[in-house]
Amino acid sequence: MSGTQSSRFGKYLLLEKIAMGGMAQLYRAKITGVQGFEKLIAIKTILPHLLDEKDFITSFIDEAKLAALLNHHNIVQIYDFGIIEDSYFIAMEYLFGKDLRHILRRSEEVDSPLSLEHALYIASRICSALDYAHKLKDFQGKPLNIIHRDISPQNILVTYEGEVKVVDFGIAKAASQSTVTQHGMIKGKVGYMSPEQAGGGQIDHRSDIFSTGIILYEMVTRKRMFTGDTLQILAKVREAAFEPAEKACGGLPPKVYDILNLALAKEPDRRYQSCGEMLADLEECIFALPRRPTARGLADYMKILFGDAVDAAGGVKEDSARGGPEADSSLGQDLAAAEEAKEEPAGPSEEKGDTKPRKRLAPIAALVAVLVVAAVVFALWPREKSAGPPVKELAQPKVSEPSGAPAPGKADTSAPAKDPSKSSDRFPQAKALQEEAGRLMGKNPEEARSLLLKAVQIDPGSAQIHFELGLAHMKLKDFPKAIESYQKATELNPQLPDAYFNLGYIFAMKKDYPRAEEMYGRVVKLTPPYLDEALTNLGLVQEKQGKTEQGVESMEKALAINPQNSVAKKFLDKHQKKK
């Protein structure tokens, strides 16, 4: 399919093909449901001529499963994975924004360089995502030893709302299994490889640290770290032969040079040993800046660079469900770039020594991701972010225990514009406390709650902070306090489906089914991306009250949205047999 002609693909509507690489093709797509529910997503499918390649299919499936485990606010998420019409596919979030390659290029074109604070902020978000991925364990507690292998400007997305997202975790390993083509030419973005990766040696998570260092180097110096043709670049990368940052760009804070020197050490043992260590130094450096970076500030910078596109993206967010205009997407460009057989300059200009650009989930046009759900998760699982887990029986609800550091809840993602005076971005200390609490939530919820209580005192008007405080209370099983926090969040932002969902979960656990029904009903009215889950839980609590007809109706709607909803199927089959 090409152009603007649309076609049905299972429960999805493919709107147009936006990219095709060597292994896969990417579509802008839409998922539709009851009551006019619509959502833009991206669909990636394997190229038809590769469908008989067993090894590639196996790799594609394995990597999709791996990507499904990643659940972090700086990583693009996968919504679905499966096979439709004999074609394997991945459904991902469709974002409005640009990838870092495009951002750097555009900053050069309009003579508006990326500031030091924004560069450090972007690097810190990359480190946060990678530290989470590197430490992630499976459901049995076994380390997954994830390595991205392709950290480059093309795979760093900045949305028009100032969110930073790392993409292509799902294909990184598969894409890196063969770095040499049949003709012996190097394949991939060698200018962002670590020395051991370029030399074909054994790599571990420290390879991603070196690649992150390259990105930071290019953002602050506005120069490519390695230049030349592909083979010249490869030779330089193997030897870590580059101009020291002190010479490439003088006048930076000494701490910045220290960070770069540690991240870019040739020998892995002399580098940072974890992205968490690098993140700590970046945050210390940021804290010392006269002006602290924030997502809002980065969003303002994106508007300077891409004003028209940012305005268009805003229109899409509001109007997409009604068939409104669509913003441009870098996702297709990213896919093509990730699968190119030769190195493409992607970063600062080699001639002028300035920088060049790329995108993710909250904003540019598109990208990825999300979760292949595990059957072990329960239906009434409380929501920590907008993409929901699979559902099971109402009789066994429980609070989720994340396998890694959880992403902060995305409570404000569907919220209308708020008064800036009530935004936590206006209170850097509250924002810092909130982010630190997010990192601690999984392993130390008590400390996370303490930090969030302080953040609430500083910025009592932030619905997001109240929502995350509710999560902390839930993890500590302090449900009365959790109810208070969620109710406060909904007072500040009545368009917050995640808070209503979690309230429904708590009331269902307390067997207060009428109030649970009310909460799930509010979620349904807000039509979030996990609408079928909300309808499923609504049907379950309606049945608990003897409202069988309403329960059946809710389950039918859930199944119409997601034909793979096993809970809804079993529910309807059971009631069909009773007739």
Which residues are the active-site residues? 150
Neighbours of 248 (CB within 10 A): 20
Alpha-carbon distance 416 to 2, whole Å? 34
Closest CA to 348 of 227, 445, 452, 456: 227
| Whole-Å CA distances, 203 to 72, 229, 483 | 24, 24, 47
- Spatial neighbors of 395 by CB under 8 A, at least 6 apart, are none
Answer yes or no: are the C-beta atoms of 216 and 123 closer than 8 Å.
yes
Answer yes or no: are the C-beta atoms of 12 and 41 closer than 8 Å.
yes
Answer yes or no: are the C-beta atoms of 471 and 382 closer than 8 Å.
yes
Neighbours of 420 (CB within 10 A): 9
What phi-psi label fits residue 338: left (phi over 0), alpha (psi between -120 and 50 degrees) or beta?
A: alpha
Alpha-carbon distance 188 to 149, whole Å? 10
Q: Residue 387: helix, strand or coil by DSSP?
A: coil
Residue-by-residue DSSP string for 96-128? -EEEHHHHHHHHHHTT-PPPHHHHHHHHHHHHH
What is the token pair recorded at 403? 């396998």
Alpha-carbon distance 269 to 93, whole Å? 37
- Spatial neighbors of 536 by CB under 8 A, at least 6 apart, are 379, 391, 554, 555, 558, 565, 567, 568, 571
Write down the residue that tokens 């306090």 correspond to.
481
CA atoms within 13 A on the CB side of 279: 15
Residue-by-residue DSSP string for 416-483? PP--GGG-GGG-HHHHHHHHHHHHHTTT-HHHHHHHHHHHHHH-TT-HHHHHHHHHHHHHTT-HHHHH
Q: Residue 93: helix, strand or coil by DSSP?
A: strand
Closest CA to 32 of 40, 20, 43, 44: 40
Tally DSSP H helices, then E strands, for the chain: 22, 9
What is the token pair recorded at 569? 């199927």
Closest CA to 473 of 454, 446, 499, 498: 446
